[in-house]
Amino acid sequence: MKLQNSLFLLLLAFWLAGCGQPEEPVAETAAKATLDDFELVDRSVYFGNPERTQGRISSDGKMMSFMAPLDGVMNLWVAPLGDFDSARAMTNDKLRGIGGHRWAFNGRNILYVRDTGGNEDFHIYSVGLDGNEAIDLTPYENVRGTFVGGSHRYPDEYLIGINNRNPSWHDVWRVNVTTGEKTLVEEHDRFGQLVADLDLNIRLATAPTPDGGQQVFKKTDDGDWQEMFKIEPEDALTSGPIGFTEDNEHFLMLDSSGRDKTALLRVNINTDEREILAEGETADIGQVLVDPVTNEPLAFSVEHKKREWNALSDSVSADLDKLRGSLGGSVSVWSQTRDNSLWMVASDSSTEPLTYYSYDRGAGELTKLFAARPKVNALPLNVMHPVSIESRDGLELVSYLTLPPHVDPDGDGRPDEAVPMVLAVHGGPWARDRYGYSSWSQWLSNRGFAVLNVNYRGSSGFGKSFLNAGNREWAAAMHDDLIDAVDWAVAEGIAQRDKVAIAGGSYGGYATLVGVTFTPDTFACGVSIVGPSNLVTLLQSIPPYWKSFLDSFTLRVGDISTEEGQQFLRSRSPLYKADEISKPLLIGQGANDPRVKQPESDQIVSAMQENELPVTYVLYPDEGHGFARPENRESFYAIMETFLADCLDGRSQPLEGAFEGSSTTVPAGAEFVTGLADAIEGFEPVVKN
């Protein structure tokens, strides 16, 4: 375009030189795009149920499974591979929907999990293709089931952990997935992880150590447990056994001891001899692809800014090349047939959201099966730009920037003018943001905001030194990283200094509360979703099955067991600085949240009300740590986008009708969000536990 304009001006100059000035010169100037030139996408497109998701194939490759709505609730479906016309629902949940699922090794049963009202007491169920009713494999009250192990050698059986005897620890049961019959295998009161070999014998276990590390034990021939080696505290979140290989004498392990980025090891259980199979260079090893029968590693991924796959076996090199060349997004292998001839793969990018394919390795053919959200795929989506931001002490903060469409016509990741921005903080904090489709990023950028996702210190995947740099730095250096990211965005001409909001869930909700209390002048407003406000009460109320992680909390957050430690935790708690809040705050909470319990939100709301500070509190009686029901998601994000429009001068949809079918309650502050008091008046919540 610039070349064409220059040529036009040159020709015009020659014409003027020969003919004189025209009486009425005409200048063609392209009108600058505005946000109104772009469609305001209905929020249900981003936050309603996906059309289909979690695609998987059976071990013989004949059948596929996926999650899809049934009467508006996510349920489990099966069909012959690629034949959606023949799909049938295997479950008929009418409340919150089914969480996750996997095929049993027999290819005839599917295992799925479900909790009640978001309480995270997950029961494990088995349903067969024969059409019989699902069997609860964990048929006890107030228990949480976990998957321990399975093997093609015993296709009808699975090892499952159940904490019915002691809520803090999971005993191991060997369960027949077709009949529900079970036998107790391992009863214990000390192990956080147990690892079985391919004959379904428990061979390895890990136990927490008082310093925040892990002790690895192996089972001896006489049934006793023998110490094998220790994982030091600095390696405890980046190291651990994965599973046994075919000979049952070697196991795979991720390990960061003696290095910063994790390596993949093969370890001999008898001699502790270790072989390094692969090492991460730019980031930790992420996913490991193994042979479905032998468990031998075939490939591994490393994800710095984007996911990259590396072959460990010549047998999959051509496959990875094919997937890289054919799919534009981050690739994941979701499931494999027993003979490894057929894969279910998914590709995800910011402009081509999660799409599932079957991949025939022998023919080298990819067949598209479905997009998770085809309505989203049909939209003109905004590009997520990976960026590196330097912290004040020199750390690289891998981050992702998404801009509204009207300010970045050339797509270079820099706006023509600074815009309002939402700093979106991920939870965990021992997790990470990654490249790919983000409903938040697309939704908020469509509303007119830049969105910046920052992997602050303490985030996982970038090596142990980066992760451990967050130890006891809650509301300190971890928060400094977020402030440095805001300063970077302002300096780069991306964000308007006085129009930056902070928002997030879980730790991201805590970071929001820290933002409006510890640094109240930085942010124009905040949105905290299930965010803890008091680190003392947070650690006093953790679920009992987190006991194996309690020493790690002491190392990484603070010591709840001493008065000195509690004083330190209070000094890092937003509740005790609530009187510093000067900007509007929106809080969302699930009443059944077992991790960040409702009092965490109640406390900060009460403190703000006592100080006559503006706070809007949205409470869902049938939700837990986040909002699973689509009606609840859409209702909260309707309130959130109106709140942000008030704060940052963005755009939003009307609130009328936004609460239909939801359990929305607003115990405080409806008057602080435009139109909310009127919209909620007379509304009767619909509670589904």
Distance in angstroms (rounded) separating the CA atoms of residues 478 and 515: 11
Determine phi and psi for 539, rounding to 5 degrees. -75, -25
Cα 186 to Cα 465: distance, rounded to the nearest angstrom: 36
Nearest to 541 by CA among 606, 493, 597: 597
Give residue 453's identity as a one-letter amino acid code: N
CB distance 236 to 209 below 8 Å: no
DSSP 474: T
- Measured CA to CA, the distance from residue 682 to residue 684 in angstroms comes to 6
Helix (H) or strand (E) holding 359: strand 355-360
**CA separation for the pair 584, 333 (Å, rounded):** 43
- Give the pair of three-digit tokens for residue 33: 């795009």
Q: Given strand 214-219, what is the order of strands in its sheet? A: 193-196, 202-208, 214-219, 225-231
Q: Which residue has the tokens 């809650």?
A: 474
For residue 138, the cross-strand partners are none
Catalytic residues, by residue number, are 506, 593, 625
Measured between alpha carbons, how far is 639 from 664 in angstroms, rounded to an integer?
10
In angstroms, the CA 160 to CA 145 distance is 7
Q: What's phi and psi for 379, nearest 5 deg?
A: -85, 155
Tell me which residue of 455, 471, 464 sits closest to 239, measured CA to CA: 464
Q: What b/e readout covers 577-606, taking b as 16+ CB neighbours within 10 angstroms? A: bbeebebbbbbbbbbbbbbbbebbbbbbbb
φ/ψ bin of 231: left (φ > 0), alpha (ψ from -120 to 50), beta (otherwise): beta
Q: Are strands 450-454 and 419-425 parallel, antiparallel or unpaired?
A: parallel
Burial (0-12, 13-18, 19+ Cβ within 10 Å), 8: exposed
**Distance separating alpha carbons of residues 555 and 561, to the nearest angstrom:** 12
Are 454 and 425 within 8 A, CB to CB? yes
φ, ψ at 172 (rounded to 5°): -105, 130
Concatenating the DSSP letter of every residue in 53-81 gives EEEEE-TTSSEEEEEEEETTEEEEEEEET
